[in-house]
Amino acid sequence: MGDIRKLVRLQFLVVGLFILFKHFRADWLTDHSPEFWRVFLYSFPNFCEGVIGVFILTGIGIYFRAKLYHSISYKVLYFIAAGMALIYTITQEVKLHHLGGKNIYDPYDVLFSILGVGVGLLIVMRMQPLVKPSNL
């Protein structure tokens, strides 16, 4: 089992990738860029959002579990966090809300969001972060 601080450090890495791809992707595109490269550059930030969503909601859930809901298992908590992140990212992509900015619907963005949530869940399940009593 891992300390939640490892999850936070990994989250900073993913946020850095998100910023890098979101702000510099136009510099990496040319008129002759292959279609796959364009799709990847524009949809990868959605992948990062999915991973970040799982990490944030897992951290919040772990904290509340330590403070209030001791009976819920960590694995259930990880799946709840991933489910909530998936609902948020998909509803944002299909424009049910604009909490993450104004999006243009793109099926590749939906696919990358789903993949990001899945990868985020796999990372959390592998790391099994928890809050130690000394960390509260």
Sign of CA dihedral 85, 87, 90, 91: negative
* Amino acid 101: pLDDT: 63
Tokens of 32: 């002759």
Say how many Å lie between the first and final Cα of the chain, rounded: 17
| HSE-up (13 A, CA, CB side) for residue 51 | 23
SS3 130: strand
**pLDDT at position 132, please?**
63
Confidence at residue 57, expressed as pLDDT on a 0 to 100 scale: 95
Question: Which pTM value belongs to this model?
Answer: 0.85
pLDDT band at 92 (very low <50, low <70, confident <90, very high): confident
